[in-house]
A and B are shown apart, each in its own frame.
Chain A
Amino acid sequence: MRSAVSESSTPTDVPPSLVEARDVRVSLQGTEILHGVSLTARPGEVVSLMGGNGSGKSTFVRAIVGAVPTTAGSIDLFGSPASPLARARLGYVPQRITAAGGVSATALEVVTSGLLGSRERDGRVGSRLRGLVPPRDAKARARAALASMGVEDLAKRDVSRLSGGQQQRVLIARALVRRPHLLILDEPMAGVDLESQVQFSHTLGHLKEEGVGIVVVLHELGALTRHIDRAVVLEHGCVTYDGVPPKDLGVHALPGHDHDHPHADPPVRDGSSLGLEAP
């Protein structure tokens, strides 16, 4: 595709990237938060995005989903520049404290709202303000998505009265109901109990087998460890590591997670420079 320009041009047997972000810069209220962040994810690949609080993980995924504008760099989704239509095959789980608005809404209603917007149908992409699927099918799909997160029984419950972990699972279901080709999750395991984490890990494994690409913001690899192909570590809005996930270690085991001394190092691609072998 567009990789012909890069010097490490990709062999033809490597599938095209689902997301390819290059040197993305983002400024919020006059302050540059991301200073040129790059990341790619291919079909069936699970990339964990890690880094300390305030390192820019959420800002970066929000740039990918179009919630904040970029000031420089480029983001390609499914081989073409990011646009509302290109987001048809994207599923997003924002980082948040609550799934509730001012009016109560049932879990089913929240999940069904995932079926709106740009959607893919019969291989063609289009934008719909009303649901893509007829209401009856939409309900069935939403219920199936809730079931895949093990919260089918909460369908009729008011989301504002669910526990934090239950709300989180509803929000994951809202992304899954879109049947995305690329899933972007911002700390999806926050507040989710261990049993549900393991269950979600199975769901993730299935999605991966189906060729879904996954970018997941995590503080520790935890229950998802065995599915993660690559870890990208952010520090102060720069990538400081991009490579095999550090085995069984959370990001806090990485050197320099302490933000008192800013990192100016160029991205390192070698696990050994992290001193992981040192006892």
Chain B
Amino acid sequence: MSLLQEPLIQRMLIVGLLVGAAAPVMGTYLVQRRMALLGDGIGHVALAGVAAGWLAGAAFDLAKQDALAIPGAVLFAIIGAVVIERMRSRGTAADIVMAILFYGGIASGVLLIGLAGGSNANLLGYLFGSISTVTWGDVWMSVGLAALILVIGLGLRAALFSVTHDQEFARSTGLPVDALNMVVAVLAAVTITVAMRVVGVLLVSALMIVPVAIAQLLTRSFSRTMHLAMGIGAVLTLTGIWITVFQDIQPGSLIVVLGVALYVVVAAVTSLLKGVRR
């Protein structure tokens, strides 16, 4: 009980809950569009944004070198997502788009980090997550961004389903398809920068996709997949963070390992049950 009164643990759990529930919402749309790995591409671009933020921070002589890192990541991620969306809507194959972004992001990230002279410790925080350093400022930013994702992602679910499921039909119904595509791209970018704090760039995509994959084993309905994935994501992040309170391990990797383990267990149980029914 007393642990829950620790401000740091409170902060970690609040951010974890929000990110864990919000990430699968956008993950569902990405999987629906068969762009499950988009998060990886954008994540690497966001890393370049972190480095650009460091450079800018050094240039402006800011007291705290990290001050512009997250704004830089958000900016770069959104630009990356918009570029991906543009290329995709012009008919470039999704995997090619992703590869270009992925390599472009990581190469320019490494280059910029070198120029900015970022320390290894700093870099590791973004690669693997740094939830144990969250401040109340981070919490409020996460609350705001997660609320944005949840309100738009859930509020426009019907329209976003139509657009990600069958773009051509959506256009024939008069839906503002281009605007809705942009909403998906930008919200995916926002999700990635928020989730980066918890699990890091390298695993950001996992937090969006793994809960969806688990939910898919349990239901065949789109809306139920989304709701179930939100619950699974929240439980996974909370469990992972709670365990790291007692054990000194990386929360990001623990959360993803828990998710993958849950996937394996659920997959085994469901196929066993199917076998029994047969």
A residues touching B (Cβ–Cβ < 8 Å)? 29, 62, 65-67, 83-88, 90, 92, 94, 99, 101-106, 109-110, 112-114, 116-118, 127, 129-131, 156-158, 161, 174, 178, 184
What separation, in Å, do the CA atoms of A103 and B26 have in the docked complex?
Answer: 12
Residue pair A110, B220 in contact (C-beta under 8 Å)? no
Which of chain A's residues have a CB closer than 8 A to the CB of B161? 105, 109, 113
B residues touching A (Cβ–Cβ < 8 Å)? 28, 31-34, 36, 91, 155-156, 158-159, 161-162, 164-166, 168-176, 180, 212, 216, 219-223, 225
Additional pairs, 18, CB under 8 Å, beyond known A101-B166, A127-B174, A174-B169? A29-B91, A66-B171, A67-B172, A92-B169, A101-B33, A103-B212, A103-B222, A106-B221, A112-B158, A113-B165, A116-B158, A116-B170, A116-B175, A117-B173, A118-B175, A129-B158, A129-B159, A156-B220
What separation, in Å, do the CA atoms of A70 and B219 have in the docked complex?
Answer: 42
Residue pair B174, A106 in contact (C-beta under 8 Å)? no
Residue pair A109, B173 in contact (C-beta under 8 Å)? no
Which residue of chain A has its CB nearest to the CB of B174?
A118
Which residue of chain B has its CB nearest to the CB of A118?
B174
Which of chain A's residues have a CB closer than 8 A to the CB of B158? 112-113, 116, 129-131
What separation, in Å, do the CA atoms of A131 and B155 have in the docked complex?
Answer: 11
Which of chain B's residues have a CB closer than 8 A to the CB of A103? 28, 31-32, 212, 216, 222, 225
Residue pair B31, A90 in contact (C-beta under 8 Å)? no
The one of A65, A101, A157, A178 in contact with B220, judged by C-beta atoms closer than 8 angstroms, is A157
Which of chain A's residues have a CB closer than 8 A to the CB of B169? 92, 94, 113-114, 174
The one of B34, B156, B174, B225 in contact with A84, judged by C-beta atoms closer than 8 angstroms, is B174
Residue pair B168, A109 in contact (C-beta under 8 Å)? no
The one of B31, B32, B33, B159 in contact with A116, judged by C-beta atoms closer than 8 angstroms, is B159
Closest 4 CB pairs between A and B?
Answer: A117-B173, A118-B174, A65-B172, A158-B220
Residue pair B170, A109 in contact (C-beta under 8 Å)? no
The one of A87, A105, A112, A161 in contact with B173, judged by C-beta atoms closer than 8 angstroms, is A87
Query: What are 13 sample pairs from A and B whose C-beta atoms fall under 8 A apart?
Result: A62-B168, A65-B168, A92-B172, A94-B168, A94-B169, A99-B166, A102-B33, A102-B36, A105-B161, A106-B220, A113-B170, A129-B158, A130-B156
Q: How far is the CB of A95 from chain B (nearest CB, A)?
A: 10
Residue pair A101, B165 in contact (C-beta under 8 Å)? yes
The winner among A94, A99, A102 for most chain B CB atoms within 10 A is: A102
Residue pair A90, B172 in contact (C-beta under 8 Å)? yes
Residue pair A114, B166 in contact (C-beta under 8 Å)? no
What separation, in Å, do the CA atoms of A113 and B171 have in the docked complex?
Answer: 12
Knowing A67-B171, A117-B174, A118-B174, say if A104 contacts B222 (CB, 8 Å): yes
What separation, in Å, do the CA atoms of A115 and B148 have in the docked complex?
Answer: 25
Which of chain B's residues have a CB closer than 8 A to the CB of A116? 158-159, 162, 170, 173, 175
Q: How far is the CB of B111 from chain A (nearest CB, A)?
A: 34
Q: How far is the CB of A230 from chain B (nearest CB, A)?
A: 22
What separation, in Å, do the CA atoms of A267 and B144 have in the docked complex?
Answer: 61
What separation, in Å, do the CA atoms of A259 and B162 have in the docked complex?
Answer: 37
Which of chain B's residues have a CB closer than 8 A to the CB of A101? 32-34, 164-166
Knowing A103-B212, A106-B222, A130-B159, say if A66 contacts B32 (CB, 8 Å): no
Residue pair A105, B221 in contact (C-beta under 8 Å)? yes
Which residue of chain A has its CB nearest to the CB of B225?
A103
Q: How far is the CB of A235 from chain B (nearest CB, A)?
A: 24
The one of A29, A117, A178 in contact with B175, judged by C-beta atoms closer than 8 angstroms, is A117
What separation, in Å, do the CA atoms of A36 and B147 have in the docked complex?
Answer: 50
Knowing A109-B223, A113-B158, say if A85 contacts B165 (CB, 8 Å): no
What separation, in Å, do the CA atoms of A86 and B175 have in the docked complex?
Answer: 11
Residue pair A66, B172 in contact (C-beta under 8 Å)? yes
Residue pair A109, B31 in contact (C-beta under 8 Å)? no
Which of chain B's residues have a CB closer than 8 A to the CB of A117? 162, 170, 173-175
Knowing A102-B31, A109-B161, say if A65 contacts B222 (CB, 8 Å): no
The winner among B33, B172, B222, B223 for most chain A CB atoms within 10 A is: B172
Which residue of chain A has its CB nearest to the CB of B35?
A102
Residue pair A104, B175 in contact (C-beta under 8 Å)? no
Q: How far is the CB of B38 from chain A (nearest CB, A)?
A: 12
Residue pair B168, A67 in contact (C-beta under 8 Å)? yes
Knowing A87-B174, A129-B156, say if A109 contacts B222 (CB, 8 Å): yes
What separation, in Å, do the CA atoms of A110 and B162 have in the docked complex?
Answer: 8
Which residue of chain A has its CB nearest to the CB of B219?
A104
Which residue of chain A has its CB nearest to the CB of B31?
A102
What separation, in Å, do the CA atoms of A104 and B174 have in the docked complex?
Answer: 24
The one of B91, B166, B174, B223 in contact with A85, judged by C-beta atoms closer than 8 angstroms, is B174
